[in-house]
């Protein structure tokens, strides 16, 4: 049997296939599409932070909700009519809050897979050699910080509830508006994505070893596990829905979309 | 309906070798392992391949077919076009003994490093009482057939030989998760998973799940829950405080 010895380095004893991969399918398509989609999301988010068309009664753009700064929030856009940040703050309001849902997505187990593959090529696809000479993964700084995910989850729950509240307000004030239903669809997808999170699954009951002693938590875990199986789909659907809903509200606010039931 | 297929098969010993070309008959209903056996019978009698059950249950015939880790006995020839050249190589992560046979003793070594099931000292065999829901999660992991394709495809060791000492691979991190989720296991698996078996190296890119012939959700049901348990233990001050206040041990 082949043995590892100092004279015969292990690496040499593997099959010395000289190519990066022998895969014959188009393995690069998915990482490329992922790269493009996530880049588009980042670029849109960056633009949205600095765009000030955030409100047209009764719609508030999801990227700017909750609107917290007195100087940048129109009267009707404030959560419960309240702007806790005084008029001393004049930077874009989105800067105050986007770190929370952004951090939730950045540390999300699904998005980690996506961007490790498509941005960092670690690996770009299964059985395709990665270009890096050294790898320590999430075992040390900086990527060990990914373990903060559950705290972003707690924040994302609050943000999801606020988006649902915004959608309900829109429904009350403009039930026939297209924007109302755009916001409702977005709130449903955002909250489904949040609840399908792996940290949520762990917190509900995943950390327990005796499910039978906690029947209610077990039921909750079963429900979250079903959602969790669709976490990837919900991640994409909610990403596009939040981007679409945000853009829709801004276009209405700018008067670019101006049909009667907008 | 039979046809002649073009094959490239890795031949060599101890890592040195080359892809050899073969043209070989393929019949309806055959799998790649059948073709390898036909090569042995007709053109390359010394071609080495490990196999046993031909039913996808023993995990012996793991190989890489067109660059993807697959079981030879479960890869139907009908999934390839008749004019396609099919490349068969040994698993890339492990040293080659001969041709398609690799030395998978790395996996046995990692298995031995994990302490076995550790029940409480005051519970004797025969006194374990648990319900189906308590062990269901772990039972999924028991479907593993030890084909080692998950460890083979994991880039942590596939692309970085130097990580082998510190990283147990998805197969054995799943074993740790199985034991940690067991209602009667009292060993400290969380610290060991992170400190000794390299759970932190996993960046959850899910290749282990993609190649598993038993369709075990290794990443979602074992590795990520284990990462979350490690967060409980090492990185979450609220859980630490809760454990102190409510005197929770697990």
Q: In chain A, which residues have their Cβ closer than 8 Å to the Cβ of B163?
A: 135
Q: Looking at the complex, does the CB of residue A14 fall below 8 Å from at least one CB of chain B? A: yes
3-state secondary structure chain A: CCCCECCECHHHHCCCCCCCCCCCCCCCHHHHHHHHHHHHHHHHHHHHHHCCCCEECCEECHHHCCECECCCCCHHHEECCECCECCCCCCCCHHHHCHHHHHHHHHCHHHHHHHHHHCCCCCCCCCCCCCCCCCCCCCCCCHHHHHHHHHHHHHHHHHHHHHHHHHHHHHHHCCCCHHHHHHHHHHHHHHHHHHCCHHHHHHHHHCCCCHHHCHHHHHHHHHHHHHHCCHHHHHHHHHHHHHHHHHHHHHHHCCCCCCCCC
Q: What is the ipTM of this complex?
A: 0.92
Contact at CB, A123 and B134, closer than 8 angstroms:
no
A246 backbone dihedrals φ, ψ, rounded to 5°: -65, -45
Residue pLDDT tens, chain B, 250 long: 899 999 999 999 987 899 999 999 999 999 999 999 999 999 999 999 999 999 999 999 999 999 999 999 999 999 999 999 999 999 999 999 999 999 999 999 999 999 999 999 999 988 999 999 999 999 999 999 999 999 999 999 999 999 999 999 999 999 999 999 999 999 999 999 999 999 999 999 999 999 999 999 999 999 999 999 999 998 888 887 887 787 665 4
By Cβ distance, the residue of A10, A13, A209 closest to B181 is A209
| Contact check, Cβ <8 Å, B14/A13 | yes
Mean pLDDT of A57-85: 89
Tokens of residue A113, six digits = 């897979």
B173-184 pLDDT, tens digit each: 999 999 999 999
A240: nearest Cα among A189, A198, A206, A192: A189
A188-247 pLDDT tens trace:
999 999 999 999 999 999 999 999 999 999 999 999 999 999 999 999 999 999 999 999
Q: Pull the structure tokens for residue A169.
A: 């307000």
Position A12 scores a pLDDT of 59
Task: Tell me which chain B residue has its CA closest to the CA of residue A141.
Answer: B200
What are phi and psi for residue B16, nearest 5 degrees?
A: -80, 135
**A133 contact partners, CB below 8 Å, separation of at least 6:** none
Q: Cβ contact (<8 Å) for B205 and A130?
A: no
Q: Do B203 and A130 touch (CB under 8 A)?
A: no
- Whether B14 has its CB under 8 Å from any CB of chain A: the answer is yes
The model's pTM is 0.93
Q: Which of residues 94-113 of A touch B (CB under 8 A)?
A: 109, 112-113
What pLDDT does residue B248 have?
Answer: 64
| Structural domains for chain B | 3-102 (3.10.20.30), 105-246 (1.10.1060.10)
B-proximal residues of A, 165-184, CB under 8 Å:
none
Say if residues A111 and A196 touch (Cβ distance below 8 Å): no
* pLDDT band with cut points at 50, 70 and 90 for residue A53: very high
Question: Per-residue pLDDT for A152 more than 70?
Answer: yes
The 10 Å CB-count burial string (b at 16+, else e) for A163-183 is bbebbebbbeebeebbbbbbb
| B-chain residues near A8 (CB < 8 A) | 14
**Token duo for residue A33:** 């599409």
pLDDT score of A1:
42
Domain regions of chain A by residue span? 23-129+142-253
């Amino acid at each position: 049997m082949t043995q590892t010895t100092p004279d015969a380095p292990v690496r040499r004893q593997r099959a010395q296939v000289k190519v990066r991969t022998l895969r014959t399918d188009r393995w690069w398509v998915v990482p490329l599409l992922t790269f493009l989609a996530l880049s588009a999301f980042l670029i849109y988010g960056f633009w949205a932070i600095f765009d000030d068309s955030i409100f047209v009664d009764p719609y508030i753009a999801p990227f700017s909700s909750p609107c917290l700064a007195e100087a940048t929030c129109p009267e009707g856009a404030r959560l419960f009519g309240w702007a806790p940040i005084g008029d001393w703050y004049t930077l874009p309001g989105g800067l105050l809050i986007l770190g929370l849902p952004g951090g939730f997505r950045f540390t999300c187990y699904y998005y980690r897979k996506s961007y490790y593959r498509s941005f960092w090529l670690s690996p770009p696809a299964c059985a395709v050699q990665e270009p890096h000479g050294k790898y320590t993964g999430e075992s040390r700084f900086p990527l060990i910080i990914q373990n903060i995910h559950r705290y972003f989850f707690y924040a994302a729950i609050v943000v999801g509830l606020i988006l649902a509240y915004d959608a309900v307000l829109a429904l009350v004030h403009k039930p026939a508006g297209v924007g109302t239903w755009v916001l409702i669809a977005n709130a449903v997808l955002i909250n489904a994505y949040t609840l399908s999170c792996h940290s949520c699954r762990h917190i509900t009951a995943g950390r327990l070893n005796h499910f039978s002693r906690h029947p209610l938590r077990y039921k909750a875990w079963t429900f979250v596990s079903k959602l969790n199986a669709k976490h990837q789909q919900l991640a994409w659907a909610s990403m596009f829905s939040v981007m679409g809903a945000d853009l829709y509200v801004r276009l209405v606010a700018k008067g670019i979309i101006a049909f009667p039931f907008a | 309906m039979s046809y002649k297929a073009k094959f490239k098969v890795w031949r060599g010993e101890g890592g040195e070798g080359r892809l050899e070309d073969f043209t070989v008959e393929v019949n309806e209903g055959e799998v790649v392992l059948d073709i390898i056996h036909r090569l042995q019978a007709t053109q390359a009698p010394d071609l080495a391949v490990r196999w046993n059950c031909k039913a996808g249950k023993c995990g012996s015939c793991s190989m890489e077919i067109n660059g993807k880790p697959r079981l030879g006995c479960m890869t139907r020839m009908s999934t390839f076009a008749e004019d396609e050249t099919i490349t068969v190589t040994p698993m890339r992560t492990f040293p080659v003994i001969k041709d398609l046979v690799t030395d998978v003793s790395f996996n046995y070594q990692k298995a031995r490093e994990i302490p076995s099931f550790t029940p409480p000292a005051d519970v004797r065999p025969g006194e374990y009482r648990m319900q189906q829901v308590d062990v269901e999660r772990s039972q999924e992991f028991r479907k593993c057939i030890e084909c080692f394709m998950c460890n083979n495809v994991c880039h942590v060791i596939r692309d970085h030989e130097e990580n082998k000492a510190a990283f147990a691979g998805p197969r054995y991190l799943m074993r740790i998760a199985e034991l940690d989720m067991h209602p009667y296991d009292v060993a400290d698996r969380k610290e060991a998973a992170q400190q000794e078996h390299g759970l932190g190296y996993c960046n959850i890119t899910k290749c282990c799940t993609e190649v598993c012939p038993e369709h075990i959700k290794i990443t979602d049901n074992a590795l990520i829950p284990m990462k979350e348990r490690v967060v409980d233990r090492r990185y979450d001050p609220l859980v630490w405080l809760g454990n102190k206040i409510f005197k929770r041990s697990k």
